[in-house]
């Protein structure tokens, strides 16, 4: 990556997210992505998950108190340029995280609403979802749902481009200023030959980002990586639309260069 920052004073990017010890997703992917962009990575763990490329075996969540006690010294010490949230598993953690962001006036805040897995499995309960919408959406510069998440949050089943637009507007009505709906799961109209199309609801505008669709199973961690790359680019001075475009290119390359590590999916190569 071109390094446009003073190497001794890289912007600090902070992730508050879950740990995937096998390094494919979550906070390890965030740290790699921040570092690859020339940012300084800081990390607060919200949950320790047990997983590898073949399966998720469980998790132990942090408490709200643990999240605060990890985050406070970081904010006290560094000028944090941008913050990204990933898996926030409980209502208590979301409430605490929102309180911290209000106290610290976090401006460049990217909320990846990790609420539903690609396979349609709900990862957080309804109380956590409500807290995420009510408390974190209004503070976020942008939220980055995939299609299953956009469906759960908006209540709209997405089968067409019109549905994507309606879901985007609905999430803005729920309090999100800007919404990026990631189209990797989209199997509806207008995608022949298939391409990866994301829609950014930027205030009243809608900006479309299209990239090559790489037919692969190496998609685990792409959501984390995209949101982290947006965070890094914002920290480096891009506006939101530029940051999304650059992040999408970054993720496409990480998919293209995916490793053949692991007995399950092939993890992304983030560099």
Q: Which of residues 105-164 bind ligand PXL (CB under 6 A)?
A: 114
For the chain, helix, strand, coil in percent to 5 are: 40, 25, 40
Q: How many other C-beta atoms can be found within 10 angstroms of the C-beta atom of residue 260?
A: 8
Stretch that binds ligand PXL, among 18-26, 61-69, 201-209, 243-251 (CB under 6 A): 18-26
Query: How far is 78 from 140, CA to CA, in rounded Å?
Result: 20
Instruction: Indicate if 58 belongs to the active site.
Output: no
Nearer to ligand PXL, 98 or 228 (CB): 228
- The yes-or-no answer on residue 184 being catalytic is no
Give the angle 12-93-103 at the CA atoms, nearest 5°: 55
- State the virtual CA torsion across 179, 184, 189, 195 in degrees, nearest 10: 110
Print the binding letters for residues 209-228 with ligand PXL: x by CB under 6 A, - otherwise: --------------xx----
Beta bridge pairs of residue 51: 56
Q: Which lies closer to ligand PXL via its Cβ, residue 10 or residue 23?
A: 23
Any catalytic annotation for residue 224?
Answer: yes
Stretch near ligand PXL under the rule CB under 6 A, chosen from 14-22, 62-70, 97-105, 196-204: 14-22
Q: Let me know if 192 is exposed, middle or buried by CB neighbors in 10 A (0-12, 13-18, 19+).
A: exposed
Is residue 39 flagged as an active site residue?
A: no
**The one segment of 19-27, 137-145, 165-173, 227-235 that binds ligand PXL by CB under 6 A:** 19-27
Closest contact distance (angstroms) between CB of 9 and ligand PXL is 29
Q: Is 182 a catalytic residue?
A: yes
**Active site members:** 182, 219, 221-224
């Amino acid at each position: 990556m071109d390094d446009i920052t003073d190497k001794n004073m890289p912007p600090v990017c902070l992730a508050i997210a879950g740990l995937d010890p096998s390094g494919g997703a979550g906070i390890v992917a965030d740290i790699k992505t921040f570092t690859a962009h020339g940012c300084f990575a800081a990390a607060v763990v919200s949950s320790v998950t047990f997983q590898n490329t073949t399966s998720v075996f469980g998790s132990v969540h942090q408490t709200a108190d643990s999240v605060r006690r990890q985050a406070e010294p970081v904010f006290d010490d560094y000028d944090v340029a941008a913050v990204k949230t990933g898996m926030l598993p409980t209502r208590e953690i979301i409430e605490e995280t929102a309180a911290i962001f209000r106290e610290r006036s976090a401006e460049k805040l990217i909320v990846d609403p990790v609420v539903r897995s690609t396979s349609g499995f709900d990862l957080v309960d309804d109380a956590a979802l409500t807290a995420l919408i009510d408390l974190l959406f209004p503070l976020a510069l942008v939220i980055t749902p995939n299609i299953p998440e956009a469906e759960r949050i908006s209540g709209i089943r997405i089968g067409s481009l019109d549905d994507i637009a309606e879901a985007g507007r609905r999430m803005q009505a729920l309090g999100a200023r800007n919404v990026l709906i990631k189209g990797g799961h989209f199997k509806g109209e207008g995608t022949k030959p298939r391409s990866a199309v994301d829609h950014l609801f930027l205030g009243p505008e809608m900006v479309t980002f299209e990239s090559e669709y790489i037919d692969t199973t190496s998609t685990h961690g792409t959501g984390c990586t995209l949101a982290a790359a947006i965070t890094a680019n914002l920290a480096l001075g891009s506006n939101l639309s530029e940051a999304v475009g650059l992040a999408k290119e970054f993720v496409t390359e990480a998919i293209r260069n995916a490793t053949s590590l692991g007995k399950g999916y092939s993890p992304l190569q983030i560099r």
